[in-house]
Chains A and B, each alone.
Chain A
């Protein structure tokens, strides 16, 4: 093949100046011969590639089969009227489902609730998580105990924690029920949302803190000492030395927690079941599917949630330049 290529190259070169032609002809064989000794190595390379693909294939296949195919399928379902209670009425209706959902006030209420929960919990968790990370990283006493304790909210089943919060606020049963006077906090919208957020924050602050602690470990100890001898206060050391070093870790933690918070479902399901307009988008998608058995509308919501998450991730990466963990794996060896 390479031999056939040479005359074509010569034809083109013939139109140019003689020196240029000569130069090019000289260069091409030189490159080829330079590559020649590597042939046995490229045998090895080929084997390495093959092994690499072989080892990754099962994982890649499973991930694609269970996510890519269903998401494409749900786009297809979202373009149909498809209610499992009336299967005979199934037909292709274009974007009608999208119009139905996007003009529906329940959808927008749920969207607002989800956004509110996401923004508030992530903001609070960033502050608390940073505090917890500092404690776990720097405490002089009981480091093991504090880390062990912090892992409990991370590990505990969300539904279990949600039941604990629910009973804590149930009038008569709970130790917190009368903290803010008489009444049932889980039957009013504002207090219900506050409790959902509390439950979320309790459960996921440790995860945020662990991600931040990984960034904290990268802060050079000498730098802190130097700043300290130069008379920097604790606050200055935190904002001028620690935060800049930790920035990539903070952005990754924020991105992960934001996308995770947007999926909020378990806590709402147990705490309010979506009563008093406390449904999140996941909650109403679930209700449309399992309670309503409306696959068309449910899939439309699935697609819309997917798009929203994609936009959030895109904004994070573009706006803040969040370096995704593992993104520079290729260079590192």
Chain B
């Protein structure tokens, strides 16, 4: 009996190992490249033979990367904040209130979740040029909010349904209005759900490439994924590989941190919104 469980454990352990290796190799590879010296960059070895931090020093000295990093962080944070606030309002209404048009809203957000983003690229390009928000932060924040909202609404509705709503009733009986019940009683209970949703939305905004490359044209609003694809090295003859890899590692760090610290939350957020709704 004990023998079969050990065997099963070893088997599962091997399967785990395959998954872990498969998931990590590309990440370790780009990290390894970022630490290689220019001389050993093209040796084709997986691990660096000589380690250096020069690539990181280089990128943090270029305005191109630092500006893009500031843009990425600012745009993703603002879009996340707005999407979570608007999403929480809508999700509260969907999970708690009865009103005509609720199904329509759920349907519309589902449609937007499936919407081909590239279809918006041409019209948004022209509309934003006319409005004067092309190549600005709001020009990117607006589409990010839009496409993050379905995600936020679904995840938050799923979380809101698990909240003990009797507490709200109790608060209302004690004389609180619906609005007060929401702010004082429900919001603190909903905080973990809000936080999880914020992580998912942030990852989405942080990841975007299509909008960022079509709706920007200068360093004013260009985010890191786009800046990466424009890296050329300091002179025409310099290979940008090391710099690109270092920058890539820098924008991967927040993702790794989220995943390491909030694995449980992210998994529950992604799975609860998907099926139970």
User: Chain A interface (Cβ within 8 Å of chain B)?
Assistant: 45, 47-49, 51-53, 55-56, 58-60, 62-64, 66-67, 69-71, 73-74, 77, 132, 135, 138-142, 144-153, 155-161, 163-165, 167-168, 172-175, 177-178, 202, 206-207, 210-211, 213-215, 217-218, 248-249, 252-253, 255-256, 259, 262-263, 265-266, 269-270, 281-282, 285-286, 289-290, 295, 298-299, 301-303, 305-306, 308-309, 313, 324-327, 329-330, 332-333
Interface centre among B19, B103, B178, B259 (most CB of A within 10 A): B19
Q: B60 at the A/B interface (Cβ < 8 Å)?
A: no
Across the interface, do A52 and B98 meet the contact criterion of CB distance under 8 Å?
yes
B77 to chain A, nearest CB (A): 16
Interface size bucket, B side?
A: 35 or more
Q: Is the interface of A mostly helix, strand, loop or mixed?
A: helix
Q: Which residues of A contact B237 (CB under 8 A)?
A: none
Using Cβ atoms and an 8 Å threshold, which residues of chain B touch A303?
119
Closest to A76 in B: B123
- Please, which residues of chain B bring their CB within 8 A of the CB of A49? 97-100
Q: How many Å lie between the Cα of A301 and that of B178 in the bound state?
A: 48
Provided the pairs A139-B16, A151-B266, A214-B276 are in contact, do residues A71 and B123 lie with their beta carbons within 8 angstroms? yes
Q: Which of B9, B26, B41 makes the CB contact (< 8 A) with A140?
A: B9
In the complex, chain A residues whose CB is within 8 Å of the CB of B214: 286, 289-290
Say if the beta carbon of B167 comes within 8 Å of chain A: no
User: Is B15 a contact of A139 with CB atoms below 8 Å?
Assistant: yes
25 contacts between A and B (CB under 8 A): A53-B93, A55-B90, A63-B108, A67-B120, A70-B127, A71-B119, A135-B19, A141-B12, A148-B259, A152-B24, A155-B266, A159-B229, A164-B248, A167-B29, A214-B274, A249-B274, A252-B275, A255-B114, A262-B116, A266-B210, A295-B122, A298-B122, A302-B120, A303-B119, A326-B110
The interface-forming segment of B49-57, B184-192, B249-257 is B249-257
In whole angstroms, how far apart are the Cα atoms of A174 and B98 in the complex? 58
Q: Is the CB of B274 within 8 A of A325?
A: yes
Q: Which residues of B contact A (CB under 8 A)?
A: 5, 8-9, 12-13, 15-16, 19-20, 22-24, 26-27, 29-30, 33, 41-42, 44-46, 86-87, 89-90, 92-95, 97-103, 105-110, 112-127, 142-143, 145-146, 149-150, 153-154, 157, 161, 178, 203, 206-207, 209-210, 213-214, 224-225, 228-229, 241, 244-245, 248, 251-252, 255-256, 258-260, 263-264, 266-267, 270-277
List of 3 A-B pairs having minimum Cβ-Cβ separation, nearest first: A52-B99, A70-B123, A214-B271
Please indicate the chain A residues that have their CB under 8 angstroms from the CB of B110 in the complex.
324-327
Closest to A75 in B: B123
Say whether B122 contacts A299, CB under 8 Å: yes
B23 & A149 in contact (Cβ 8 Å cutoff): yes
Q: How far is the CB of A179 from chain B (nearest CB, A)?
A: 11
| Alpha-carbon distance A330/B103, docked complex (angstroms) | 6
A74→B259 contact, CB < 8 A = no
Instruction: Decide: A163 and B105 in contact? CB cutoff 8 A.
Output: no
Cα separation A225 to B45 with both chains bound (whole Å):
49
A164 touches B12 (CB 8 A): no
